[in-house]
Amino acid sequence: MKKLAHDLLGRDTPREYYSDSGTKIELPQYKEDYIHFIVDELRLPEIKEYALKHKIA
């Protein structure tokens, strides 16, 4: 997912932060974060073409 985002979109998912008592903590990124990011940014034919080209089942 991360490679697909970098290859096709040229960027990563937006970072999310949690602030507690003035301390800013970067939240981890999960597979679901990438799925939502990719689906929001790309169309199905683009995702399908990438999967076929890289032999992703």
- Give me the percent of the chain exceeding a pLDDT of 70: 100
Report the pLDDT averaged over residues 10-27: 88
Instruction: Give the predicted TM-score (pTM) of the model.
Output: 0.61
Question: Domain coordinates of the chain in residue numbers?
Answer: 2-53
Whether the per-residue pLDDT at 57 is higher than 80: the answer is no
What the block records as the tokens of 15 is 């970072």
Report the pLDDT averaged over residues 1-24: 86
Beta bridge partners of 19: 24
- Write down the residue that tokens 């991360």 correspond to: 2
pLDDT of residue 27: 92
Q: Give whole-number Cα distances, 15 to 30, 38, 42, in Å.
A: 11, 15, 19
Whether the per-residue pLDDT at 8 is higher than 80: the answer is yes
Whether the per-residue pLDDT at 24 is higher than 80: the answer is yes
